[in-house]
Structures are given as structure tokens and as C-alpha cells.
Structure 1
């Protein structure tokens, strides 16, 4: 019995009490109730505080309501015992057969287990990384490459229609600096002022020449324009390939320049004017964002006629909304903290409720230590710690998992030695090893001729009631919790909840594995028993959940380690 199934059982019991006149709920019976795993042993399999929540509405006290509900629940199928504790908590024990059925449900669902429709029908745009196409992706992009992708995955698992979007900052003076840097490298000239340096610029110069022979023999603006376009094309492709290797995938690569070329920016300015939220002052055009909680009004067009990034940001937001996205999630770096209020005010200025359409997440910096020293980076100085470098040095799985297991807003320091060692002290190794162990157990069972039982217990099939050991129950409850963890991770945009759940579940599984009474394989010459087959189902269910969870983090589930 999963928490969702038990919640439904409690709702049915409340409905029966109301229908028989034993309970009055003027606002109606809730559609679901909160069911949790107790923290202490001996408090049943699950607990709920529904009696405390509904007592006032019902015109009674929590314990009286708890007694009524407990008596009704004791008659329900699959419920072994119900105890009333404290001011009105209900501790519920589930029959072994009902609890054991969870394993069969997990196996039957397979890769879809844990997926829900919690966010069904919602169209969500997740924008993350948003880098200039002027150099390799580096350490500063790595955390968002992981968290943005993982957030997209958990949102999809919760039923949302998700688009992962990369905003290409391909407009502005930096693109000319980029082209001038490539030209200087190709012609053996010093790096231009404000230009880019490093081996990658020299490599780009060679790649541009190879792709367009004679391009550097052009003159003036013609050469700059041609080199800018070809260098942009090559560098953007390299960024895309880097992210693919890192298991981060985007549905849309959106060009800032295309936003301007399409006329979206002047259309946006006209809309803001029509809504009365812009004004001129000092020769510049301003958006009156202070009307909606910003600390100061924002410039859209400078006094010299140059458009600001904020004008592009506003047009881009409206572009997303015009494409049908009901909710826009922005993942921004720690240096963008001031963007939260201005983006919310921007959404309000164009007529939206930012509480409904906008979610701005600010991530903290990551430090990577190697040999006790912090790895440094500077794209323009040429001392780049690239995402490729990190993935090669640390490994995609270790790096992704280590970044995914912490909230975005927590500063993070990772030690290369610690996150790459093959030890149970290393969380990614611990979880992946648990999965590999299930694979080995299943392979051993296959060698003995064991196969997943089919049909009902009465026909010699899977008998869930045989999963009656305390350790069986702990593992089953952990597996049953997975869909709720995924839904919570999606609603809160916190994929680290999945990682921490996997670590807890791997621990529960390892304790189960070490329990002699829970052996899956027969010993010696013993024949394969129904209990052995039931535990094979439990192992396959565990394998399924760990693999599904790792998949939401973009981390592999190895069969051997």
C-alpha cells in the first residue's frame, strides 16, 4: 500500500463517516490527506495528523475525531492496526500483503514508476545557463547545467509539458571583441583591448580558416562580420556538443539577436507604452518598475539610443508567453540576485501576475578543490577551467550527482578526491553500487533458474504476504515513498530531494541485504521457495526505483562496479 493509496483509504473512511451522520464537515471531505512515514520504530508503518487538521471544522476535538476515524479504518482492507497517539495522531500499520503489493506495482510500472500528473497540463519553460557564444562553457556554468536539466526532468516526471531553453547572448559588443580576438590570433597580432585570450582562441582561428579558406584575407568590416559569424557557429556547436556529453539537453536554443531581428523589441516597447508603464527622462526611456516592487525604475533605451539588456529581457519574456508557456523559470547565478524583483516587476508591467507566471531561482557559487587548492577561471585571461575539463577529471556521473544533491541556494565546495573515490562515504558511489548490487543479485537468480512469479499467490504466483519481515516492510515503505518525493521535488524545484531519497533508500536496501532472514537466494541445496521469489520481486522493484531516480538526475545506473 503506497502513501497515495492509504490517503485514498482515509478519504473514503472520512466520506463514510459523513455519509452515516457520524461526522460533519461543512467544507466537505478533503480530496487527499497527508500520510508520512513515522520517524520512530513502533509507531506503525504510516502516520497522519488529519484528525488535528479537521477537528475544528468538524466542531469536535482531535482525539474524538481520531477515535471515530481509527474505528472506521480498522475495518478497511489492508489495514492491520490503527493506534491513536498524543493529541490526535493516527499511527497506522499495514498488512504484509497490502504492503508487499507495492513491489509488484513498481515492477509492473517499470520506468514509469514515480511519474505522476501532479503538474499535468502545465506548460513550463526552464531557461538555464544562457552563455555568450564566445568561449567554452566553464565551471561557472556547470551547476546550472546540472540543476536546470534535473529540474526539467522532475517537472516532466510530475506531468508538466516542459521546454528546456538556452538563451544565446549573441548580440552586443562582445561579439565584435570575439571576432577581433580570432582575427588577431590568425594574423599573429596582440590580443585587442577587451578581447579574449587563451588557447581556445588560437584553435578557433585555425577552425575558422579550415572552414572558410581565405576568410582572413578579407578586409575591414567584411572580414570582421564573416569571422564573427563563422566563429559563432563553431563555438556554439562546441557548447552544444559539450552539454550533450554532459548529459544536459536543450529543446530550444534561442538567439537574442533573432529577438531583435524579428521586431519583438519595438513591439514590446509599444505594448509597455500603451499600458502606461514607460516614461522619458534625461533623454532615456524608462520602465516604471517601482510601481510593482522594484527598488528603482529600469532603463529600456539609453540616452544615446542604445537598447539595454532589460529591454531584451522583457521582449524575451513576452516571447515565451506568446509561445504558450504558462510558467517561466529562470535559473540565474549569484551575481544576479538583484534580478529577482526587477523581473517580477517586469512581468507585472506587461499585465501578468508574477506569482503565477514567474519563478526566479538564484544559485550560489561552486568551488572545486584539487590538492587543497581552488581551481580558478577567467575566460578572458585564458586560464579557463572548462566544463569539459571538469567532466574529464571528475567524471560526468560524479560531477552531476555531487552538484545535484544540494539546494541551488547553498554555497558549495567540492573536493575532487572526495567525489571520485570508490567508497561508501561517496554518495554517488554508494547509490550506484546499490543499483549494481541489485543487478548482480538478479543475475545470480537467473543463473539458478529463478524468474519473476506471474499471477496470483493462489496460483503459485507472487505472494506479497511473504514479505513480512521488518526489513521487508522498511524497504517497501521506502519504495512506496518515491512518487511523492518526485512530485515534491518538482513542485519545489528541488531535485536534491531525489538524491537524498536515493541515499536513504540505498541504506535501507543494504540493511535488508545484510539481514539473513531476508535472503533472496536459496541456500545450499534448498529448493526455490515462494518467499525467495517474492524477494526477487522486491529486488527488481528496488533496482527499478534506484535507476529511475538516478535517471532524473541525469546519472547512469551501472550494472556492475
Structure 2
């Protein structure tokens, strides 16, 4: 029995009590079931009586006794006790608790998936690095967290489109092209240009594509170089993301907003909402109407659109494409964007508290990381992957809240010890896979299953952690906090290692294979499945051998 099934049981007895006229109260949509702090207080606990007592016009303990009497009759519940002012402590019978092992194995890779966010249509933008250079340390955190969050949202029933906004418009692209063109002619990059050996590499790629570039007039060569270098650099960005296990559903070009007239159309849409003002020859959006510290210029007096105009057009594009909810994952230096992006939503007639969500990630650092030889002044993500490994990086970044700074210890991440969290969890999975192989070689299979046999304290503890997994996934998705999954996987790993050391799955030499051995194989395989599912949600591999 999972916490979700137990929650449904409590909801059912509440409904029965209301229908019987024993109390009058509105039944909550979800009743929280939690693990009690002390194992002696039962398997699970609920504070529903404390939450509803006032509305029901009853003392909390009186309401708890009323519900407990009905819960004691429910299938799979061995005992219900009332503690303190009205806590309901529930103990499952061994068969109900142990049945979870079989359920997990039979459910397979979808165990943990839930419908907490069913009906939500979400566009989630993250990374969105400028295509003027390689991905670096500053992009690494959101690449890991953004992809993990997209996986969690999908696992919780949401329809999610992950999107990369390509900043391929504006003067930065001209500076980028000029830098590559200078390299093509054997010159230093112009002042304010992009240094680093990678621009030299891009120049050679452009020349390989168009051998006549060096013979063309600079003005004619520049747009060609711009396009060739942009395509080559963005191809490298995609390759690095793929190596990191990150794939996007949509790559959206900022330039397309200008080419397709979307920027001008956005201004007219916002004008229709009554928040556009023409003054001093420029076109302004009155974002101060919605908490911004100053109004923002959309079109300058010379008729040129601003970056903010593209931001507004991009937001409206997401809405036009059917995304009711839009999540932006921005870096630590983008705090100022929060108010202005929410102001765009409000000016467009949307609810900024519901239709747009902006998450800010704090800085990360890596002890001993070296600047890239290619880029010259940054730490490249590709180098970090080679040095530390994609799994170690992704797991480490996923196990901390996004709003907390991180200083990564590379020696820890590279170590094969239990002090290294990713090794600890991956090793638990590999150990479970090895245990299963050994069991099969010894003649233990899953032809027998008796849930009541999983009655050892270590088995009850492991089953409790496994049972919480779906609710942890749902909560992590709702709170936008992938670290909840990582930390729970570590709890499962700890419970599994304890169980493995305590409960024999393979009989000793000369002993007969029993249903206890077979049933424990189900529990072993269930643990491996949950660890595998959880690691997949974080974009981390689950090796079968280490």
C-alpha cells in the first residue's frame, strides 16, 4: 500500500462519515500522509483531524477517533492509534506493505509517475546561451536543473515543451562575425570582440565551407561569415548539450521574431491592451503600471526595436502557441528580469502569478577548474564533462536547491566512496543488479511471492521509502525542486544497503530455497527499479556494474 493509496482510504472514510451524517465538513482534494518521526508510532501518520476539526465543529481528538474507527475496518490496515491532540497513526499489515514490491516491479519504469500536474501545458525555457561562444560554467547549472525539472513535470502529468531561445539577433552577432572574419585574415579580433582560439577554429570551418571568403570584399564576406560561424558554433553547443544528456523540443530564433513581423505585431497587441505610450518619438510599454521601477522602451526614436521588444514578442509567441504556463529559468545575474517579465505578462492581459514563473539560479564554482584553452577566459562545459563526468555533474547540481550557491569539490565527485552521493546511489543500483544476478545463478527466481513474508524491520523501512517515491516526485515537480528526488534516492540507497546486510536473499549452502528468498528477490528488484526511475528523472545513468 502506497501513501497515495492510504490517502485515498482516509478520503473514503471521511466521505462515509459525511454521508452517514456523523460530521459536516468539506473534504480536502488531497490528504497528506507522512512518515512518523518515531518508528514506534506506526508506518504512516495523518494530521487530517487537526486540520478539519474546527470546520467540523469537533475536538480534534474526537474527530480522529471517529475516523480511526472506520479506518480499522479498511483492508490492509493492521492498527490505528490516536496520539496527542489528534494525530492518526496507522500501521499496515505485512501483506499490504509488502505487496508494494510486486506493484513496483510490475509497474516498471513508470512507477513514480503521477497525475499531480495533469492538465497543465507548460513552456519551459532554459540555458538559452548566446551562440557567440561555447557553453561554459555559468550555463551548466540550468542545463542540469532545467532538464531534470522538465522530466519531473512530465512524470507528474504536465505537457511540457522544453525550449532554447537563440539570441541570434542584434549587434552581438555582428561583433561575433567581425571577430571570426578578422581571424580569417590573420588579424587580431577587433576591440570588444570575441577572443579565444575557438574563433580561429570557426574561421577555418567557414573557409572550408566557402574557400573564396578571403577574396571577397569585407562587406560582402561579413554576412556570409556571420551565418557560417553561427551555424558551426551553435552546432557545437547542441553537441555539448547532447553529451550532457540535454535535448530541447524547440530551438526558437530571436531573429525570426523580427523577420516574421512578430515584434511589430506584439506592440500592436499591447497597444490594444492600453499599456503602450508614445513619447519623445519612442514607443514605451508602461510596465510601471505593474510594479516595474521604470517604463520600458520597445522602439527607440530612430525606429530600432530594443531587446525588450523582442522579449515582449517572445512572451506573446509562447502564448499564441498555446502555452498557458511559461517557466523561465534565468541565471544569477538576471534578478532584474523578474519584475519586467511579469510586467509584460500583466500588460498582455495575463495573470503574472499564474501564467509566468521565473526561477533564478545561484552561482556555482568548481575548485581547481581551469580556464578553457580554446575560449581563453571561461571554463567550458565540455571540459567539465571530460574532467568530472556528466553523471557526477548532473547529480551534484540536482541535489541542491537552485537558489543556493554551490562550490563543487572535484575530488569528491571523482571518488568511488560512499561520501560521493552519486556513487552512493549508483552503487546501490549496481549492487541490486549484481544481487539479482547472483540470486538467479543460485536458483532463486520470482515464481513465488508472499507479501506477508516481508516483515523484517529493515524490509518495512525499505518498503516505506519506496512507497514515498511517487509523492516525492509529485512534490518535487510542484515545488520545482529536483533536489527532493536526489535526496530521497540517497535515503532509499541507505535503506537498501541496511536491508542487504541484514536480510539474506540467497540461502546459505545446503539450505532450501523458500518463498522468503523469492519474495526478497521481488523487493531487491523493486529497489533497483525505483533507483533507476529516480536517476532517469535527474538525467543520470543507472549502471548495472561498477
The residue number in structure 1 matching 2:422 is 428
* Matched position secondary structure for 2:39: coil
Q: SS of the residue aligned with 2:418?
A: coil
* DSSP-derived class of the 1:338 partner: helix
Q: TM-score, normalised by structure 1?
A: 0.95
Counterparts of 1:104-503 in structure 2, within 5 Å, are 104-370=102-368, 375=370, 382-453=376-447, 461-503=448-490
Q: Is the 8 A contact 1:404 1:495 kept in 2?
A: yes
Cα distance in 1 for partners of 2:214, 2:169 equals 22
- The answer on 1:89 being equivalent to 2:80 is no
**Contiguous gaps of at least 5 residues in structure 1:** 454-460
* Structure 1 pair 378–408 and aligned structure 2 pair: CA distance change class (3 A): farther
Matches of 2:491 and 2:231, distance apart in 1: 45
The aligned length equals: 546
After TM superposition, where is structure 1 displaced by more than 3 Å over at least 4 residues in a row? 374-379
Match of 1:50 in 2: 48
Instruction: Give the Cα–Cα distance (whole angstroms) in 1 for the partners of residues 539 and 522 of structure 2.
Output: 26
**What is the root-mean-square deviation in Å for CA atoms of aligned residues?**
1.3
1:51-81 alpha-carbon deviations (Å, 9 max, x no partner): 0111111111000011111111111111111
Shift of residue 527 of structure 1? 1.5
Distance 2:320 2:214 in 1: 41
Tell me how far 1:84 sits from its aligned partner: 0.4
Give the CA deviation at 1:376.
Answer: 5.2
Paired with 1:143 and 1:43, the residues of 2 have a C-alpha distance of 40
Q: Deviations over 1:428-469 (max 9, x none)?
A: 00000000000000100111222223xxxxxxx311000011
Structure 2's unaligned 5+ residue stretches are none
Asked whether the 8 Å contact 1:367–1:375 carries over to 2, the reply is: no
Superposed displacement of residue 299, structure 1: 1.4
Partner Cα separation in structure 2 for residue 276 and residue 33 of structure 1: 44
The equivalences for 1:526-537 within 5 A come to: 526-537=511-522
Q: Does 1:525 align with 2:513?
A: no
Aligned to 1:337, the other structure's residue is in SS state: helix
Matches within 5 A, 1:48-87: 48-87=46-85
Deviation track 1:390-429 (CA, whole Å, cap 9, x = no partner) reads: 0000001001111111111111110211211111001000
State the alpha-carbon separation in 2 of the partners of residues 296 and 87 from structure 1: 53
CA contact (8 A) 1:196 1:382 kept: no
